[in-house]
Structure 1
Amino acid sequence: MLNKLLDEIIVSVVGKSAEGIVPLLNTSKYVNEFIIAKKLGITINQTRNILYKISDYGLVSSVRKKDKKKGWYTYYWKFEIMKCLEFLRDFLIKSRLEIEDQVKTRSSKVFYACESCGLEYDEDEALLMNFTCDECGEIFTVKDNSKLIKEMGRNTAKFDEKLKIVQEEIEKEQSKLGKKKAVGLKKEEKENEKRKAEAKERRDQKRKEKKASLPAKKPKTEKKTKKIKENVKSKSKEKIQSRKSVKKSSKKKK
């Protein structure tokens, strides 16, 4: 169904010369323009003219790649499916509105026709011509619009059916794009987490290297023990000195 709708879009934009291009461009990957030309059985210039016309409506996208051996650039193309479907939807809506306007006009106004020449005029035009055909001189007759109005009504119903199909395809494509976007976001999130983990690992490694380059520190327990010993030693010295001073003072009294 999608290819059928795309065919309708492309033929309306470019003409029948573009028939057969739809299945080639309705892919997830970009297609080499020389392959497109070969499969269509036309020259590369004719292929490019078709692709450029479609591109003017924004219905295709392309990427350019350079041939490493020959040095020239080759273009690769594919359909922008969502844009194609939206283009067709807008075209159908516009056409439907035009038919509705014609139905209203035909239902509310009187039209006159020259049966010999097959020409048609509204009431104002017929009045200016005195209800006589300038070509053959025949008197105008009132045109019966009932059949035409019915035909327009059937066309409106057809447009409604086609619009429904197009809308369904748009919803399918939106669902695909939504899933694709979710996968892309999940992948991006994983890559961000990976980068953060790698950055943390580098920081930790730098800290370890910096720590290893610093001189080794003595354990705090050794410092405390040394300080206690020094305090005990100084106190014992003070006691000895005080004893000596007491002895000296007692000798002097004698």
Structure 2
Amino acid sequence: MLNDPLVQEVLFNIFEGDEKGFEVIDVLLEKGETTEEEIAKELGVKLNVVRKLLYKLYDARLVDYKRWKDEDTNWYSYTWLPTLEKLPYVVKKKINELIKDLEKKLEFEKNNMFFFCPNCNVRFTFEEAMDYGFSCPGCGNMLQEFDNSELIKDLEEQIKFLKEELKNNPFLK
């Protein structure tokens, strides 16, 4: 399941690009139930890095924890355990959110006319370009009409791909 590219992409987004998150998952899967200290020691990383990743996994509902109080120190300790059986649901949810975002972008692209400054490489909506008198506010160059048909095509393809993945990916059934 963790080898599925769609799952990896969703997890990568959950970890906000921190690839150590995959190592944390591996340790959790190997040990089943473990403390954040044990994970940090096994991976050779700082405890706060492991905690940050565990909190992200917890927010996504892919791990759970048990809290207990150490009678000697009066400190709370946490034991973490993977709950990856929820992963298909999490992936579906994240992909559906992504599809909605892409559909909003697509609608915006289809419903607007754009201009750009070739010098500054900045794009403006028609309304913004009008406000600036069709001159770039950065350099003063005349704005040129921007053809966003390729962007529209790319967005449509991404949406189609993601919808097909949701429909056909055996992991998500």
On whether the aligned pair clears a TM of 0.5, the verdict is: yes
Over 6 Å off, 4+ runs: 66-72
Matched, 1:122 2:122: no
What residue number does 1:49 align with? 52
Report which stretch shifted further, 152-161 or 131-140.
152-161
Letter paired with 1:169: F
1:77 alignment partner, SS class: strand
Which has more strand, going by share of residues? 2
Where do 1:85-104 residues align within 5 Å? 85-104=88-107
Q: 1:123 to 1:46 in 2, by over 3 A?
A: closer
How far apart are the structure 2 equivalents of 1:46 and 1:150? 40
1:21 alignment partner, SS class: helix
The superposition leaves residues 54-88 of structure 1 with CA deviations (integer Å, 9 ceiling, x where unpaired) of 32343310124577999976432122224433232
Q: Is this contact kept in 1: 2:114–2:125, CA < 8 A?
A: yes
Q: Is this contact kept in 2: 1:7–1:22, CA < 8 A?
A: no
What residue number does 1:175 align with? none
Indicate the RMSD between aligned Cα atoms, in angstroms. 3.0
Q: Is this contact kept in 2: 1:63–1:77, CA < 8 A?
A: yes
Q: 1:111 to 1:86 in 2, by over 3 A?
A: same
Report which stretch shifted further, 75-84 or 113-122.
75-84
Provide the TM-score with structure 2 as the length reference.
Answer: 0.78
Higher relative contact order structure (alpha carbons within 8 Å, sequence separation ≥ 6): 2
| Unaligned 5+ runs, structure 1 | 172-254
Which has more helix, going by share of residues? 1
Seq. identity, %: 28
- Post-superposition shift, 1:114? 0.9
Letter paired with 1:2: L
Letter paired with 1:14: F
What residue number does 1:29 align with? 32
- Post-superposition shift, 1:113? 0.8
Letter paired with 2:147: D
Q: 1:132 to 1:25 in 2, by over 3 A?
A: same
